[in-house]
Amino acid sequence: MQPIFLKPVLKQTIWGGHFLAAEYGLDIPGTDIAEAWMVSGHPVGDCTVKDGQWQGWKCSELWQQHPELFGKSAGTDRGQFPLLIKLIDAASPLSVQVHPDDAYAAAHEKLTDGTPCLGKSECWTVLQALPGSTLVFGHTAKDRQQAEEMIRQGQWERFLCKVPVHPGDFFRIDPGTVHAIGGGIQILEVQQSSDITYRLYDYDRLQNGKPRPLHLQQSLDVMTVPFIPRSENPKRLPVSVKRGTATLELMEKCDYFSVQRLQLQGSVTLPAAERFCAAVVLQGHGMLGESPLHKGDALLIPCCKAPLTVSGELQLVLSFPK
């Protein structure tokens, strides 16, 4: 089966910039585009097929009407397209926030059609970061009472944990983790198909003359307290496998998806797969079978019984649902 190329959905916010247009050539109006939803079937950002047999179809329509493309099976996605992949440009810091797990999201949040929402597990690959950049990852509170006191008293310097960031770093953000992308950082994010963000602190910024809403009670409900990182260093080191001229790095494997980064100078054969794969080309150009690949492309690779050949000089991130 041929790959299915998608048009990104662009999102404007007060913290966005111009990186996505300058770096990936996306057709962006204005200079405050914060996110490009590269692969998504979520109702508030449903990608459209660019060309070919399915031109004009929404990603969610393909998912519902052509399961043979995806190898769908019952799982954790509750019938929804399971992945959401974004390019994010944080020209200014994002709000300090926290996301719910599946159980809390299903109990408290619904889509417009009444479907219970998914929780939000996510991971980040840092594409660029200005020297001295930091992000928020975790907090210092020993128990929930102390967390609430520090939050309501605005003791953010004491409460928040910050870590330095460099291009190539990788972070896994589990539900319940207090976090925020700092200004001057651009990332690729792979996550569950969820748009739930509980905003804890927004630096007292104004949007259209008013502060943006906060979600203090929901944040306290879902926050992991105390916060215990997997290691002293929250950055994850990938597991690399060399295949001739290709390096395949396993960046993440969790209950919802796995993420691999392929760096290639030459060609490599991808094995046949029982479920689909979503890909974003971060650098270079090449071919996937007979289809050209260019920097900034986002595509679905349908499940197929035959292996696929990738060739060229490129870097792409491959995301697989569980």
User: Residues with catalytic annotation?
Assistant: 199
Phi and psi of 69, rounded to 5°?
-75, -25
Contact criterion met (CB below 8 Å) for 85 and 38: yes
- As given in the structure block, the two tokens for residue 37 are 């939803």
Classify the phi-psi angles of 154: left when phi > 0, otherwise alpha if psi is within -120 to 50, otherwise beta: left
Phi and psi of 237, rounded to 5°?
-95, 125
Provide the 10 A C-beta neighbour count for residue 167: 12
DSSP-H helix ranges across the chain: 19-24, 59-65, 102-108, 144-152, 156-159, 216-222
Give the torsion through C-alpha atoms of 61, 63, 69, 74, to 10 deg: -160
Helix and strand counts by DSSP (H, E) for the chain: 6, 23
Contact criterion met (CB below 8 Å) for 175 and 100: yes
